[in-house]
């Protein structure tokens, strides 16, 4: 996308064909251990994964709350603390030491999650693409009679209309077609650009 033209050195991108919870469970631990620079590793999750809670960081968790740390992680990240695959060094350490090590790692996971995980400004990427493009002059003729509720199904219908196929490649091509014909002044597109500018610490995006 032409967003990359806004960078002198475009950032590396990776797309994971995994559910958001699996991505969170794996990468939050990875970031907690490796402690990368905030702007160098960002995970953009679907907006429908955003939790309506007061954000808590490790320094707000009192010692007395450690017994409830698994639930605090679930409240904040959507994943119970016991489900994170933590690289603990058990060995001959006492249970007290092992518990302390586990708690310290979970607190690092909590902070790494809030540091590196952000949310899309719509519930799904499909919603963003559809809403910023379906009513533009180039796309309206294809989209105006598609009224299916789920956005993913709308793209299947559109792919069938344009290519007479609904395979993954055809769906990708119609999504790309819509992005290329998006309304650059649409409110959701403006919000998305502002989100990226804040995350990537750049001044502007086309």
| pLDDT-derived band at 18, boundaries 50, 70, 90 | low
pLDDT at position 12: 57
| pLDDT-derived band at 193, boundaries 50, 70, 90 | very high
pLDDT top residue among 93 and 67: 67
pTM of the model: 0.82
| pLDDT-derived band at 200, boundaries 50, 70, 90 | confident
In terms of DSSP H, where are the helices of 117-165?
125-133, 137-143, 151-163
CB within 8 Å of 107: residues ≥ 6 apart:
58, 61, 69
CA atoms within 13 A on the CB side of 97: 7
- Give residue-wise pLDDT tens across range 86-143: 988 766 778 888 899 999 999 999 999 999 999 999 999 999 999 999 999 999 999 9
pLDDT at position 8: 47
Q: Which stretches of 68-183 are assigned E, i.e. beta strand? A: 117-119
Least confident of 14-18, 71-75, 196-200: 14-18
């Amino acid at each position: 996308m032409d967003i990359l033209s806004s960078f002198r050195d475009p950032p590396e991108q990776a797309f994971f064909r995994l559910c958001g919870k699996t991505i969170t469970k794996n990468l939050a631990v990875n970031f907690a251990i490796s402690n990368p620079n905030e702007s160098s590793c960002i995970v953009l999750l679907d907006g429908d994964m955003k939790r309506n809670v007061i954000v808590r960081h490790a320094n707000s968790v009192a010692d007395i709350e450690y017994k409830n740390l698994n639930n605090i992680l679930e409240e904040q990240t959507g994943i119970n603390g016991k489900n994170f695959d933590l690289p603990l060094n058990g060995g001959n350490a006492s249970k007290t030491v092992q518990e302390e090590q586990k708690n310290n790692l979970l607190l690092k996971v909590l902070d790494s999650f809030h540091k590196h995980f952000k949310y899309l400004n719509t519930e799904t990427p499909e919603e963003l693409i559809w809403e910023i493009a379906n009513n533009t002059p180039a796309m309206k003729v294809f989209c105006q009679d598609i009224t299916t509720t789920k956005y993913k199904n709308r793209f299947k219908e559109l792919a069938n209309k344009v290519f007479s196929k609904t395979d993954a490649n055809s769906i990708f091509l119609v999504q790309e077609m819509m992005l290329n014909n998006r309304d650059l002044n649409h409110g959701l597109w403006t919000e998305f650009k502002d989100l990226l500018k804040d995350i990537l610490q750049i001044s502007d995006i086309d």
